[in-house]
Amino acid sequence: MDKTNYFQWWRKLSVPSRLLMIGLAAPILALNFWTLASISNYFGVLIAIIVVASLLAFLLNYPVSWCVQRGLKREPASIIVALLTISILSGLGIILVPVAFNQAQQLANRLPDWLESGRQQLILLSQQVEERGVSLNLDVLAAQAFDRLQGQLQALTKSVLNIALGTVSSVLDILIDVLITVILTFYLLQHGDQLWDSLIDWLPEENQQPVSATLRSSFQNYFIGQLLFGICMTSALVPTFLILKVPFGFLFGLTIGTMALIPFGGTVGILLVTGLVALQNIWLGLKLLAAAVVVQQILDNLVAPRILGTMTGLNPAWVFISILVGAKAAGLIGVVIAVPTAVVIKTALLSLRSRMVSPNDPTGSDIPVVALDSSEASTPPVSRV
C-alpha cells in the first residue's frame, strides 16, 4: 500500500463507523495494558533497576557527550564522569545526610509538643471568636482533629520503625540492587547509543530520526531540567528559612527542593512544611509560606524558563492526571516518568491525527523533530506547572 493511502480508509468512514472501530479497539487496548501491568508487577524490582539506571544514564550523558565532543573517547569519558559523580554524591551524602537525619530525629521528638501547641492555638482562637458572639465550637473540632492526627502519626512512626528494622535484615539485598544499578548505568553510558539505535531500527526508516529525537528530548532534557530546578529551589529556600529562623530550616528546605523534582511536588512540600511550622507558631508559618511562595514564583518565572526551556503544551490538568496514573501503575517510578511519557504520547497522537486528517502526506512523518542535545538548540521542550 502506498504511504499516501495509509489512512484513506479511515477518512472514508462515517462518524458512527469510526466510533464503532474505536469501541472495538478499546477492549484490546485494555487487555494489553492489563498484561503489561501484570508483567511489570512480576518483574517489579528488575524493571525499577532498569528505569533508574536509564534515567541516571540520561542525566550523565550530557557531560559524557561534552567530553566526547572535545576529543576524548567515550569509554574513558564514561569512566571519568562516573567516578566524578560517585565522588560528588558521596561527598554530599557525608555532609548533608547526617545533618538532615539529625534534624529529622529532633523533629520526630518535638512533633507531639508542636501538636499540643497547635491545639492550644486553636482553642485560644475559638475563645476569642466566642467572645465576639460567634459560636463555632473550634475547640471540639480541634480536639477531634488533633487526636486523630496524633493517632495517625503514632501509626506512621510504628510503620517507619518496622520498615527500618526490616531494612536492617535486608541490607545485603539493597546493596546488591544498588550495585547492579550502578553497573548497568555504567554500561548504558558506554554502549547506550548502540542499544538505542538497535531498538530504533525496528521502526520505519522515515520515522526513526523524529521518534528518536522526540524520545531523547522528552526524557533526557526533562529530567536534567527538573534536577537543576530542584537544586535551585533547595539552594534558595535553605538560606531563606535560616534567615527567618525557621526551626529545622535545613531539613524543610531540602524536603521542598527534593519534592520539587516532581511537578506539583514543590507546592505540596510548601503546604506540608507550612502546616508543621504553623502548629508551633502560626505567624512564623505564614512568614514561611510567603517567603516560599515568593521564591517559587521567582524561580518559575525567571529561572525555570532559562533552565527548562519552552513548554510542552501539556495542560496542567493532564499533567496532574498523568502523575496520578503513573503513581497507580508503577508507584514512585511511575510518578517520576509520568510527565515525559505523557509528552511522548501526546506527540504521537498529534502525529497520528495529522496523518488521518491531512490527505497530502508524502512521507507520513509528522512527528516534530527536536534537538538531541543543548548544543543543537537553545532550549529543550519540557513541562513546567
**Is residue 102, in this structure, part of any structural domain at all?**
yes
Grid cell of 278 as nine digits: 504553623
Q: How many domains does the chain have?
A: 1
Question: CB-based contacts of 236: which residues, under 8 Å, 6+ apart?
Answer: 295, 298, 299
Distance CA 29, CA 33 (A): 6
**Is residue 66, in this structure, part of any structural domain at all?**
yes
Give tens-digit pLDDT for 30-67.
888 788 778 777 777 888 888 888 888 888 888 888 88
User: Does the pLDDT of residue 221 top 60, yes or no?
Assistant: yes
**Is residue 293, in this structure, part of any structural domain at all?**
no
**Is residue 72, in this structure, part of any structural domain at all?**
yes
Mean pLDDT over the full length of the chain: 76
**Backbone φ, ψ for residue 110 (5° rounding):** -90, -10
- Of 350, 368, 367, 360, nearest to 4 by C-alpha is 360
Please give the full DSSP string across 245-262, using - where no structure is assigned: T-TTHHHHHHHHHHHTTS
**Is residue 202, in this structure, part of any structural domain at all?**
no
Residue-level pLDDT at 65: 85
Give tens-digit pLDDT for 250-295.
999 999 999 888 878 888 899 989 988 888 888 888 999 999 999 9
In the block, cell 468512514 appears at 13
**Is residue 369, in this structure, part of any structural domain at all?**
no
**Is residue 145, in this structure, part of any structural domain at all?**
no
Q: Residue 9 is which amino acid? A: W
In the block, cell 502525529 appears at 351
**Is residue 164, in this structure, part of any structural domain at all?**
yes
Q: Which domain holds residue 165?
A: 41-116+158-196
